[in-house]
């Protein structure tokens, strides 16, 4: 029942004509660059990420459209209204990477079991995209999550990023750490959102680990 409940928004989103048409156009653009199989996997990963935002918004009673794809730039969800405060905004912002992380883990697990380079490549690409979205900047998902963290939680997030970089040597993780360091000097709420802090640091840890996936035929 839980699996069916989680799958329902994914299926319903595909019944919206603007979503489906924009998805097909984006898939066509990716197809020319990466081939059809990787294009399908990449667009599916982006779609799952965006559905995470939609689900979180609707749980908060905020009306939102289904995802719309912009070829070459990902996808977005149009809101009818905005979250009431930083805590709600963090819930919405981090829901995308959370759904994306679950999808990445599923692809990685299947890829390892089936010895499928294709699934491993999708898992690693999806992990990288979701990690990028966790940059603590502006309207990116990470920026929305980071705004809800108090200074102590921000220091913890920075520490996790430094450890993640030391273990993975992933340049994107280093960039996240630098931006997080710069954000320490900015304004922070006196009372932070503990759930956002746990979720942000956990996503950083898991997604960073997924960038270590070895894909036969592709460099690390």
- Contact in structure between 170 and 208 (CB atoms under 8 Å): yes
Does the pLDDT at position 125 exceed 60? yes
Contacts of 215 (CB under 8 A, 6+ apart): 117, 120, 121, 124
Predicted local distance difference test score (pLDDT) of residue 219: 54
Q: Give the distance from CA 24 to its chain's centroid.
A: 21
Does the pLDDT at position 3 exceed 60? no
Which residue from 133, 156, 150 is spatially nearest to 192, judged by alpha carbons? 150
Contacts of 114 (CB under 8 A, 6+ apart): none
Predicted local distance difference test score (pLDDT) of residue 70: 85
Mean pLDDT of the residues in the chain: 88
The answer to whether the pTM exceeds 0.75 is yes
Predicted local distance difference test score (pLDDT) of residue 218: 61
Does the pLDDT at position 1 exceed 50? no
């Amino acid at each position: 029942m839980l699996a069916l409940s989680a799958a329902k928004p994914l299926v319903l989103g595909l019944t919206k004509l603007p979503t489906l048409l924009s998805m097909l156009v984006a898939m066509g653009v990716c197809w020319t660059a990466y081939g059809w199989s990787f294009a399908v996997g990449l667009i599916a990963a982006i779609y799952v990420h965006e559905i995470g935002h939609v689900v979180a918004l609707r749980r908060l009673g905020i009306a939102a459209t289904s995802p719309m794809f912009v070829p070459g730039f990902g996808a977005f969800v149009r809101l009818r209204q905005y979250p009431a405060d930083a805590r709600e905004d963090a819930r919405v912002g981090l829901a995308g990477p959370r759904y994306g992380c679950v999808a990445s883990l599923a692809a990685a697990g299947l890829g390892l079991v089936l010895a499928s380079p294709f699934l491993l490549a999708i898992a690693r690409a999806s992990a990288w995209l979701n990690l990028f979205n966790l940059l603590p900047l502006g309207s990116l998902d990470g920026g929305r999550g980071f705004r809800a963290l108090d200074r102590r939680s921000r220091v913890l997030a920075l520490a996790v990023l430094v450890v993640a970089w030391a273990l993975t040597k992933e340049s994107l993780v280093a960039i996240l750490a630098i931006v997080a360091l710069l954000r320490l000097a900015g304004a922070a709420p006196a009372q932070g959102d503990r759930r956002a802090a746990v979720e942000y640091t956990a996503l950083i840890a898991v997604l960073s680990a997924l960038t270590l996936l070895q894909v036969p035929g592709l460099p690390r």
